[in-house]
Structure 1
Amino acid sequence: MSGDQAELSPAELAERIDSFWFRFREGETELIRKPVREQVEEINEVLDACLDGLALEMSANDGDDPIDMIATAHGAKERFPLLMDFVKRAPPLAHYRLSAFRTRTDEPDFPMRMGNFELATSDILIGHFADEGQVGIEVMFDRELPSDMQDHARNMAFIMLDHVLGEYDFAIKVGAVDFVGGFSGEVVHSTPLHQFGTVLDSFWTGDLGHTGLFPSGEDNWTTLTIAFEGDGEGNHAIVSVNDGANAVAARPDLGHAVELRLPAHDHATLDAARDLQDQIATRLEVQHAGILSHTILRNGERMANYYVGDLPAALELIQGSVRNAFLAEVGLNSEFDPSWARYFEFAG
């Protein structure tokens, strides 16, 4: 996101989104009469003037059905909230069917050409392994490459990964990506790129345990003592990790991390902090609106980290609970963390 756009408030961003869609609706009848290529160029010129980093892509349609139009952030995770809000705020369209994120291709194998050089997905082998909650991959070419096409081939492989896995899954579920001449001992299994989508899904839900299902019954927690540099008082923390939260880690509807810090400098305040934070967790989890992923006790504070989908609603719930408890010394912040980096700093 550009520096100018990053400084805009949510209300100002919403105004820019609404401005774009107003202009789009005004010109929709005239726009649909033009060739698809001209439509794409025209609407993206207007979009770029309103919002930085987003684009609209179209697929040709010879019939009377609406044209499929995909909003993309080109894989930039920091722009995903803007992209999702952009699609959410779109009005009903007469001639277009809008969706967010580039989806997976349904082609079993496909080539890509750059000049006189062609590379197929079957020419690329993918090795995968667990990478701190995500899927790490190693990329190896299963054919000789011209020396002057090495960098081009790597760029083409990234583009093809985006097509095979889809924009969201590639950005959120895949961690480290390394190009190798031979697979390392970390690799669990290797497969041609065009078959990797189903392998990723199986590894994600099976081996990593990200089933997408909210845990039921009693929660299982792991407690860790984390030491920091120095030997003085306060240079350690007690971290409690909700093992059951791993099942819903990185769900698309739980992408916002919310941190609530409460005073916990003696037994009474610690008990009060724990009770309130657990009450908030129960209210979120009963509605499947969020989950308490982990807590940290350090320097007279207890921090609770929740992952939620509807950020404004979650903040309202938390702030209301804090007010009802008549607490003043409270810290509350949030960030978009769709890969659950805060959680996997301690989990697993």
Structure 2
Amino acid sequence: MFKKLFGKNFTAAEFWIWFEKNSQDYYQLKEEKLNSLFYKLDKQLSKINEDIAFEFSADLIDGKREFIISADGILSAFTDVIDLVEKAPKLDGFKIIAFRPKSDVDDISTIEYEDISLGPDDVFFTYRKNGDTLDIVLYLKGYDSDFEEWENAAFILLDTIIGEYDVATKIGSIDMLPYKGSPKLKPILELPSLIDREVSGISF
């Protein structure tokens, strides 16, 4: 309570000062230091917003390490993610990215989550336009509503196919049902172009 009343808020500028001081460790990402580095980074980001998550590219891309700052799909953290990335300094070894980006179609692979394997060929959908967003129903091969891992795997796949920002701002309700086959269902890989045509999404 006293900390909240009298302590100043941790700012994006302060976070980037800390990160820049430690940037070489995160650029190198030595395997034996990963747990410690990720713990420290999570602790710093939590001072901004406890829901903020992060990812780094496993390999350097054009000499840079991709540093993805994510809201983990939680809308209340979106403005803090945007603020952090907008205030990021230019760091020679890093490409700072707001939200998990969608992948190229050729790069989308099967999601392995817990005991579940879920690929784009396993998911179909129907939709209904709802103002600036789409309400969708996902039909998943092998889906079992008793296991919440299915929902987690489906959301990870959606982030990969559509991108985290569009999932949160252009998709309204998401329901899930077992796939039983129907000519009326659309393959999930048709969803990105449909979203671009049909809705503008909500803004922050």
TM-score (norm 1): 0.49
Provide the residue aligned with 1:28 in structure 2. Answer: 23
Q: What is the CA–CA distance in structure 1 between the aligned matches of 2:124 and 2:22, rounded to whole Å? A: 46
Q: What is the CA–CA distance in structure 1 between the aligned matches of 2:113 and 2:61, rounded to whole Å? A: 31
Deviation at 1:47, TM superposition (A): 2.1
Larger radius of gyration: 1
Q: Where does structure 1 differ by over 3 angstroms across 4 or more consecutive aligned residues?
A: 39-42, 114-117, 147-151, 180-183
Deviation at 1:62, TM superposition (A): 4.3
Give the one of 188, 191, 194 matched to 1:193: 188
Provide the residue aligned with 1:167 in structure 2. Answer: 164
CA contact (8 A) 1:128 1:190 kept: no
- 1:131 and 2:130 equivalent? yes
1:1-348 map, 5 Å: 13=9, 15-35=10-30, 38=34, 39-62=37-60, 65-108=63-106, 109-141=108-140, 143-145=141-143, 150-181=147-178, 190-204=185-199, 210=200, 250=202, 255=203, 338=204
CA contact (8 A) 1:72 1:102 kept: yes
Deviation by residue 1:201-225 (Cα, 9 ceiling, x = unmatched): 2222xxxxx4xxxxxxxxxxxxxxx
Change (3 A) 1:4 1:118: farther
Deviation by residue 1:219-267 (Cα, 9 ceiling, x = unmatched): xxxxxxxxxxxxxxxxxxxxxxxxxxxxxx63xxxx3xxxxxxxxxxxx
Deviation at 1:52, TM superposition (A): 2.1
- Percent of residue pairs bearing the same amino acid type: 22
Q: What is the CA–CA distance in structure 2 between the aligned matches of 1:4 and 1:110, rounded to whole Å? A: 48
Gaps of 5+ in 1: 184-188, 205-209, 211-248, 256-337, 339-348
Change (3 A) 1:123 1:87: same
Gaps of 5+ in 2: none
Q: What is the CA–CA distance in structure 2 between the aligned matches of 1:75 and 1:4, rounded to whole Å? A: 31
Q: What is the CA–CA distance in structure 1 between the aligned matches of 2:16 and 2:78, rounded to whole Å? A: 18
CA contact (8 A) 1:134 1:173 kept: yes
Deviation by residue 1:66-121 (Cα, 9 ceiling, x = unmatched): 11111111111122111111111112213111121111021445212234432222
Number of equivalenced pairs: 195
CA contact (8 A) 2:49 2:77 kept: no
Return the letter of the residue paired with 1:194: L
Q: CA RMSD in A?
A: 3.1
Q: Secondary structure at the match of 2:136?
A: strand
Deviation at 1:150, TM superposition (A): 4.5
CA contact (8 A) 1:131 1:176 kept: no
Provide the residue aligned with 1:246 in structure 2. Answer: none
CA contact (8 A) 1:40 1:56 kept: no
